[in-house]
Structure 1
Amino acid sequence: MRSLLKASGIVSALLLTGAVSAADISTETEKLYQDQCAACHQAERVGGIGPALLPQNLKRLRRPQAIDVITNGRAASQMEGFSDRLTEQQISDLTDYIYSKPKVMPTWQEQDIRASRIVNHTQGSLPDEMQFEADPMNLFIVVEIGDHHATLLNGDTFEPIHRFKTRFALHGGPKFTPDGRYVFFASRDGWVSKFDIYNLKVTAEIRVGLNTRNIAVSSDGRYVLAGNYLPHSLVLLDANDLSLIKRIDVADDSGKSSRISAVYNAPGRSSFVAALKDIPEIWELAYGDSKVTADTEQQAADLPVRRIVLDDYLDDFLFNQSYELVMGTTRPKQEGRKRSAEGQVVSLESGERQATLDLAGMPHLGSGITWDYNGRRVLATPNLSTSEVSVIDMESWETIKNIPTEGPGFFMRSHKNSPYAWVDVFFGKEKEAVHIIDKKSLEIVKTIRPAPGKVAAHVEFTKDGRYALLSIWDMDGALIVYDAKTLEEVKRLPMVKPSGKYNVWNKTRYEEGTSH
């Protein structure tokens, strides 16, 4: 197997950059795929029982891992191993094929979305009372990506209430209705699922695309908006039953289309804001004045798109607390464009740039947080490529301090009742480390290493900010509960690669220390 990997390394590199298409793959390999894989993944590789097998969907699955899955199967799934019926060369060829660009790029139109919808329980058919004892606002949803499950956790006792299977490769974080009863999930391969927390049941599902980035739920609980990488579209759903209201092709005036890099709810504006990856624009859909009607065409007309044209790309951002401003950056060089070492502050009212941010590397503003520092509001963001946390004054927009870390970080979290901000060291040799920063002194006061050799990441706080929950991203992983004041470990729960955990109160009240 090692010799095969070495021999095909050049081909694999070309495949991952899109330089090799399915037209360069042999007909024997294509037939092999149709014979062995199409029953679960569909002939066009768009996914069915199994996930979509397209380059855009496989970016997080490295080629050696894909070979291992085809060879040995995937635990806790219907994916069986093929080592007993395929040769090593055939498995290598199949892997090349699924990472190649299709001859004809598949589409996912309105009729496909509507036909995919599954309704298990209609609105009002399940009891309105919780079927267990707990504070509904201090519950957590813990996403366990290792075996594609989620755990509902009691945030007072830290005891699991219910563990259930999810769609493959959830992404973007679950989103709750304002009352906390329902939670929505989005998967990489386009499925949006609605789960009734009170009754512990999946009520409806619908496939909105082939490669989905994330979803947002409106502040009034009426709408769900999904943003897609493939096809380039936004999809608006009725939150009651996940029926399709509107599908929007994403393109500029010239017809150039764009992937959606993120969609967020802006509660202070009663609108959705979408970040575009390939066009220097952000889009806003206002739902505050929309009418409640059974006519989906009328509802769609009531949510027009407002396009804000920018002077630079903005595909990673967060809001200020009043939701009047967007602070964002673009990713590094892609598709011929370069990112300067700066971010931008854009007014959602005027659509104009208000300030420029001095941010080098690859700041992860989507995980940025804000707090009060010496009587002024500051923004803090981790960085995906440099070993620092940047702290920026939100009045002057000048950098107050770059806090050195032991490596690039992914997630940063705090709580209004906590004196500390937590940031992981997700990438590199020190991936086991988590820094705890004093929000008054802007100094790292403690670095913890709760699981040597394993990634420690993604903190979320309880409703009152008394406890902080941290994930160990490993198949033999854990959820660790810390006293947020003493910074001492309180409890450790074994879990299967828990990627993130989401508190109902913090997410529905948009607490300043958590993300959207």
Structure 2
Amino acid sequence: MKRLWLVPLLWASAAHGATDAAADYQQHCQSCHGVNRVGSSGPALLPESLGRIKPAEIRQVIEHGRPASQMAAFAPLLTAQQIDALVSFLQQPPATPATWNEQDIRSSHRQLADLSQLPSTPQHHADPLNLFVVVESGDHHITILDGDRFEVLDRFASHFAVHGGPKFSPDGRFVYFASRDGWISLYDLHNLKLIAEVRAGLNTRNLAVSKDGRWVLVGNYLPGNLVVLDARDLSLVKTLPTHSRVSAVYTAPPRNSFIVALKDVNEVWELSYAAPTPNFEPRRIQAQDVLDDFSFSPDYRQLLATSRKAGGGQVIDLDSGKVVTDIALSGMPHLGSGTYWQRNGQWVFATPNISKGQISVLDLKTWKLIKEIPTLGPGFFMRSHSHSRYVWSDVFFAPGNDAIHLIDKQTLEIAHTLRPMPGKTAAHVEFTQDGRYLLLSIWDREGALIVYDSQTLQEVKRLPMNKPSGKYNVGNKIEFAEGTSH
């Protein structure tokens, strides 16, 4: 009790530290990262944007800067105590809540090239439908790769933390990127040139492109809303408040609509783009739980979504808008990274699990569990191809995450376990359009893309890369091919 006098002093000290950190931010950071930390030439420094980055990593960047970027090293200017205070300051919400409205979106729009002045045919030697778009998250770059020769055609800087998977125009000419801090970029794969950019939000989940190639839909965590853009130049068409963070947005081609999962309300939204001038008013489908991520049945009539209340998954019929069934799956299935294929003439669906070392295989007609395949640890990505006898699945969250399993799609047994680079994380596979080869990522700053022959499983080529977190084949994506993500 005698030490109660210390409490006001500790509070005063903490408040003083926060004040000093705010002053240090204003002096050293604000010119690049913006007033109220919403970003400018540098990325946003908000809790929503930094949520996946550990405090030690934030401290490392402040101290030593970022290679090949404008981020300087501040260790010579700031003490260790000042840097620690900045790290803590950046992980707290700003004193004034960050906002981003339609005028902000319009003001951020940048037209970088005039499409009318560019050739409409590919200006390179590669097959335009067998290109790979590679996201190198180690230094925030995009690599365009020839999928026949496995040679780099272009490499350019991206905005901070591109995620959610690039999406393509229906003809494969254009690719659209979403960064974590809300920047949407349009790139011309025929001319290897950035066309336009716009900032659609402050923290973005992902985007989708309509089947007719006219619209881009962006789902935001902050502010909680949907943003419709014109796919030709990324100009703003409309914003739709959701009063919720957006978990995911996808296009459902047979339905001529976007499907949206919301993180804070028990609803799925369907936005039709079938009309000549759609109004994008949502059809609200009641769910029995908040849905984190989802996958579709092959005909896009049913939605399979993660549901904690169901203890696994919830199946929603999109035609009737009714919940068909719950699926009891232990752990935390990652349905958005699942994949499907035909086994004995019937469609099956398999999902990795981010909290348990198992893969769950379901019958897509009855939604009954066929088998749980034990793995070396929790996984994140599964990929296959109609011409491959295997589905490839990582063990991303396991201590030994340098392993990757090859599961026989007919026997549902692990046929092979590879360790491409011992000691380094192996994850995320994507096949060439014809399925003859596949590319596997080594998630490390001194990582690589490893090219395998999909039949012999022999390594064909190794391309050094800076943490290639994902790669996406144009043909597979625009055809919504079996075995790849949508």
Q: TM-score range by the shorter chain?
A: over 0.9
Task: State the shift of 1:342 in Å.
Answer: 2.6
Task: State the shift of 1:200 in Å.
Answer: 1.0
Matched, 1:54 2:40: no
Q: 1:266 aligns with which of 233, 236, 252?
A: 252
Q: Which residue of 2 aligns with 1:26?
A: 18
Secondary structure of the residue that 2:117 maps to in structure 1?
A: coil
- Residues of 1 paired with 2:21 and 2:290: CA distance? 39
Q: Which residue of 2 aligns with 1:130?
A: 122
Q: Which residue of 1 aligns with 2:468?
A: 498
Structure 1 residue identity aligned to 2:303: V
Q: Deviation above 4 Å: which 4+ runs of structure 1?
A: 22-25
Task: State the shift of 1:128 in Å.
Answer: 1.1
% identity of equivalent residues: 56
Q: Which residue of 1 aligns with 2:261?
A: 275
> Per-residue CA shift, 1:101-147, capped at 9, x if unaligned?
22221111000000000001133221112111111111100111111
8 A contact 2:312–2:332 mirrored in 1: no
Summarize the alignment of residues 47-196 of structure 1 with structure 2, pairs less than 5 Å apart.
Answer: 47-196=39-188
State TM-score, norm by structure 1.
0.90
- Residues of 2 paired with 1:344 and 1:56: CA distance? 27
Structure 1 residue identity aligned to 2:482: E
Secondary structure of the residue that 2:426 maps to in structure 1?
A: strand
Q: Which residue of 1 aligns with 2:317?
A: 347
> Per-residue CA shift, 1:354-379, capped at 9, x if unaligned?
12112111111001111111221111
Q: Which residue of 2 aligns with 1:7?
A: none
- Residues of 1 paired with 2:267 and 2:15: CA distance? 34
- Residues of 1 paired with 2:436 and 2:329: CA distance? 32
- Residues of 1 paired with 2:124 and 2:212: CA distance? 26
Q: Which runs of 5+ in 1 are unaligned?
A: 1-21, 251-256, 292-298, 333-338
Matched, 1:400 2:370: yes
Q: Which residue of 1 aligns with 2:484?
A: 514
Query: Structure 1 residues 413-422 or 124-133, which shifts more?
Result: 124-133
Q: Which residue of 2 aligns with 1:248?
A: 240
Summarize the alignment of residues 377-456 of structure 1 with structure 2, pairs less than 5 Å apart.
Answer: 377-456=347-426
Task: State the shift of 1:268 in Å.
Answer: 1.0
8 A contact 1:25–1:97 mirrored in 2: no
Matched, 1:305 2:305: no
- Residues of 1 paired with 2:19 and 2:446: CA distance? 41
Task: State the shift of 1:303 in Å.
Answer: 2.0
Q: CA RMSD in A?
A: 1.2
Q: Which residue of 2 aligns with 1:376?
A: 346
Secondary structure of the residue that 1:285 maps to in structure 2?
A: strand
- Residues of 1 paired with 2:471 and 2:290: CA distance? 30
Task: State the shift of 1:162 in Å.
Answer: 1.2
- Residues of 1 paired with 2:16 and 2:374: CA distance? 47
- Residues of 1 paired with 2:337 and 2:275: CA distance? 30
8 A contact 2:18–2:89 mirrored in 1: no
Query: Structure 1 residues 303-312 or 500-509, which shifts more?
Result: 303-312
Q: 1:230 aligns with which of 211, 216, 222?
A: 222
State TM-score, norm by structure 2.
0.96
Q: 2:272 aligns with which of 286, 289, 313?
A: 286
Q: Which residue of 2 aligns with 1:40?
A: 32
Summarize the alignment of residues 308-347 of structure 1 with structure 2, pairs less than 5 Å apart.
Answer: 308-330=285-307, 339-347=309-317
Q: Which residue of 1 aligns with 2:444?
A: 474
